[in-house]
């Protein structure tokens, strides 16, 4: 369970809620208490239409929070960034995972940094950029195309010295995808887990869920739980969520049912 900690003024769900170190640290502690296994910290919004920021501003927002969380919360820290310079400083401050929505395409130095540091890396699929990704995204076969892209990026990562064991894949729900694309990726999520890498799903509070349940961002918890239940049934490894406690409960129930389904009762015909 990866708990989301946005230290941004403009993220789609909780922008501005945790912009001070004290607010961010308090939320990280809360997520730890609710059962988070990883804290994912991001200082640049990637919502549709978001404006990019430079590395100096991202570092200004990010590093004090990473240092505070690393000192006070005994959980692995993931850094949501596409910039190698930001990732390097974060790793030196205690981060263990680089969560790169560009799958290491934005910064030519990112792969060498990940290989050198030994950090885990999340490679995500995105059609376009945050500024353009929701302007008429199109696929012939979204599941096949996302799978092919993620395999290509994983192979490119290994060709640059990154070990297979460092790689995590993310289909990028909501990143250059219409509602039908997101739903198809969930329906066929097992095709992603069959690729042989750990797979992360970031469906929490996304717009496609809001469209289905007709609820604003802060009231999509139940809809998110439904999507997460499907992902768990189809073998997801990491869930990136805003509401840790309720999603932890969802996973616990679905996982328990799944374990029983794998041990069918033997019925005698005698």
Domain ranges of the chain: 2-258
From 89, 206, 220, 248, active-site residue: 206
CA distance between the termini of the chain: 46
Active site annotation includes 177: no
Q: Which residues pair with 121 in a beta bridge?
A: 98, 167
22-67 pLDDT per residue, tens: 999 999 999 999 999 999 999 998 777 667 899 999 999 999 999 9
Residue 236 near residue 193, CB atoms below 8 Å: yes
**pTM flag (> 0.85):** yes
Average model confidence (pLDDT) for the chain? 92
Please give the residue that has the higher pLDDT: either 261 or 121. Answer: 121
87-104 pLDDT per residue, tens: 999 999 999 999 999 999
CATH of 2-258, one of 3.30.420.40, 3.20.20.10, 3.20.20.20, 1.20.58.110: 3.20.20.20
From 61, 89, 177, 240, active-site residue: 240
Q: Which residues pair with 201 in a beta bridge?
A: 239
Active site annotation includes 234: no
């Amino acid at each position: 369970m990866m708990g989301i900690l946005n230290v941004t003024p403009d993220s789609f769900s909780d922008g501005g809620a945790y912009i001070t170190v004290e607010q961010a640290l308090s939320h990280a502690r809360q997520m730890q208490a609710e059962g988070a296994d990883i804290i994912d910290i991001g200082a640049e919004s990637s919502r549709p239409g978001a404006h990019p920021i430079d590395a100096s501003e991202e570092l200004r927002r990010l590093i004090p929070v990473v240092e505070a969380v690393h000192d006070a919360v005994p959980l692995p820290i993931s850094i949501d960034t596409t910039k190698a310079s930001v990732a390097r400083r974060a790793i030196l401050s205690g981060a263990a995972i680089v969560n790169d929505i560009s799958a290491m395409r934005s910064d030519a130095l990112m792969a060498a940094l990940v290989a050198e540091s030994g950090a885990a890396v999340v490679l995500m699929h995105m059609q376009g950029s945050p500024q353009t990704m929701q302007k008429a995204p199109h696929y012939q076969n979204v599941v096949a195309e996302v799978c092919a892209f993620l395999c290509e990026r994983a192979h490119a990562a290994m060709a640059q010295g990154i070990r297979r064991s460092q790689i995590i894949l993310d289909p990028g729900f909501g990143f250059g995808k219409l509602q039908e694309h997101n739903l198809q990726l969930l329906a066929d999520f097992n095709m992603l887990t069959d690729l042989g890498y750990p797979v992360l799903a970031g469906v929490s509070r996304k717009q496609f869920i809001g469209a289905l349940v007709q609820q604003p961002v802060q009231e999509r918890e139940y809809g998110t739980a439904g999507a997460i239940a499907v992902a768990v049934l189809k073998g997801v490894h990491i869930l990136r969520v805003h509401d840790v406690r309720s999603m932890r409960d969802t996973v616990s129930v679905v996982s328990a049912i799944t374990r029983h389904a794998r041990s069918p009762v033997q019925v005698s015909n005698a």
